[in-house]
Amino acid sequence: MESGLGSNRNERHWIFKDDSWFSQFRNGSNPWMARYAYALIFLVSNLLAWAVRDYGHNAFPEMEKLKNCQGGRGCLGAEGVLRVSLGCFAFCFVMFLSTAGNSRMYNCRDSWHSGWWSAKIGLWIALTVTSFLVPTFIVQIYGEIAHFGAGVFLLVQLVSVISFITWLNDCCQSEKTAERCHIHVMLLATAAYIICIFGIIMMYIWYAPEPSCLLNIFFITWTLVLLQLMTSASLHPKINSGFLTPGLMGLYVVFICWCAIRSEPAGESCNRKAEASNKTDWLTIISFIVALLAMVIATFSTGIDSQCFQLQFSKKEARTEDAVPYGYGFFHFVFATGAMYFAMLLIGWNTHHTIKRWTIDVGWTSTWVRIVNEWLAVCVYLWMLVAPVILKWRQTSESA
């Protein structure tokens, strides 16, 4: 039996190495190709949710005849988005349960993750169709749970971003690359700070044109304070992380602040950009498409970054030849929470909110979610700076 297993492993290894990417995808031998297939399924779910929200009454008139649709109100619009999200979440959660904990390739769970596409696509379609047959109260309960799941996705995403920034800084400060990358690090950090200051100035001009715009002034000014706080903490003698990480984190928090203010509803006197984009034109459509693709890419990149949640001080295990290239369970967990997240963006985090066509993540709830996410990102970053110092101090105190 062991010889049979070994020959099967060698056969799959040969396919993985020598065949074309199409053959690898067809034979289910390449988990790196599989992740693109899951991202495509996720993108199609996003597009279907958007179509149900904006064009459901014209494109899917048959849904109005379904018993649970209540003349279309329960299957189109905001509830239609939640039903598509529910189907996508159910598919990703089934994949999470069936692949979580798998750490080795060339076994049945690896084959299920990387192959069996006809069965999995059929399962995804069946779950999506079933989501339109469930009672409305189940969809409403899911909508409430999706608020929490979307928050989990944002938390996972910001930890992934911060981990990448700290990893990049550690690589640049290592003994092998410190002298060679010194000038590049200074140029990158300087450019990051210049862009941050420029972005803050432009937000004052665009979103705080009058002294009465107190809320926007507070958001922008507090972002500037947080940038200074991160810089001061990074340059503390006991931390000494340099200018690169606070500069890149500054770009991240300034971007979140900009997204938060842009999410304010049109018609606010302090958000002239929202008033200018109140009409649906080609620029609004392009912005929507870019935002949708950015959400899929963010979900995709976060899903394969399972190592960002490994304990920083834990002992790293030696990587074996048959180890999985990324955590399958974590990958599907991120996509499951991402399904909840895209639903919240398309309905503005409010199941009773009527949202305009070709818009995404608009409303006061969306604004405050972004702002809290910004503040939380700074707190997590500061903790990642301070935690090693505190741990070292505790170890010194215990040994003494």
Q: How far apart are the C-alpha atoms of 242 and 229, rounded to whole Å?
A: 13
The letter for the amino acid at 115 is G
Place of tokens 């999200």: 85
Alpha-helical segments (H) within 60-99: 77-99
Centroid of chain to Cα 125 = 23
Place of tokens 């809290």: 372
Task: Supply the pLDDT for residue 210.
Answer: 84
Cβ proximity of 42 and 299 under 8 Å: yes
Cβ proximity of 361 and 291 under 8 Å: yes
Rounded to 10 degrees, what is the CA torsion of 298, 304, 310, 312?
A: -60
Cβ proximity of 265 and 364 under 8 Å: yes
Q: How far apart are the C-alpha atoms of 243 and 192, rounded to whole Å?
A: 10
Centroid of chain to Cα 367 = 17
Cβ proximity of 259 and 183 under 8 Å: no
Place of tokens 């598509």: 84
Write b or e for each residue in 66-101: b if 16 or more Cβ atoms lie within 10 A of its Cβ, otherwise e: eebbeebebbbbbbbbbbbbbbbbbbbbbbbeebee
Task: Supply the pLDDT for residue 316.
Answer: 47
Cβ proximity of 131 and 84 under 8 Å: yes
Cβ proximity of 163 and 310 under 8 Å: no
SS3 state at 103: coil
Task: Give the global pTM.
Answer: 0.79
Q: With a cut of 50, which residues of the chain have pLDDT below it?
A: 1-8, 10-18, 275-276, 311-316
Task: Supply the pLDDT for residue 203.
Answer: 92
Q: How far apart are the C-alpha atoms of 169 and 96, rounded to whole Å?
A: 32
Task: Supply the pLDDT for residue 32.
Answer: 79
Task: Supply the pLDDT for residue 217.
Answer: 94
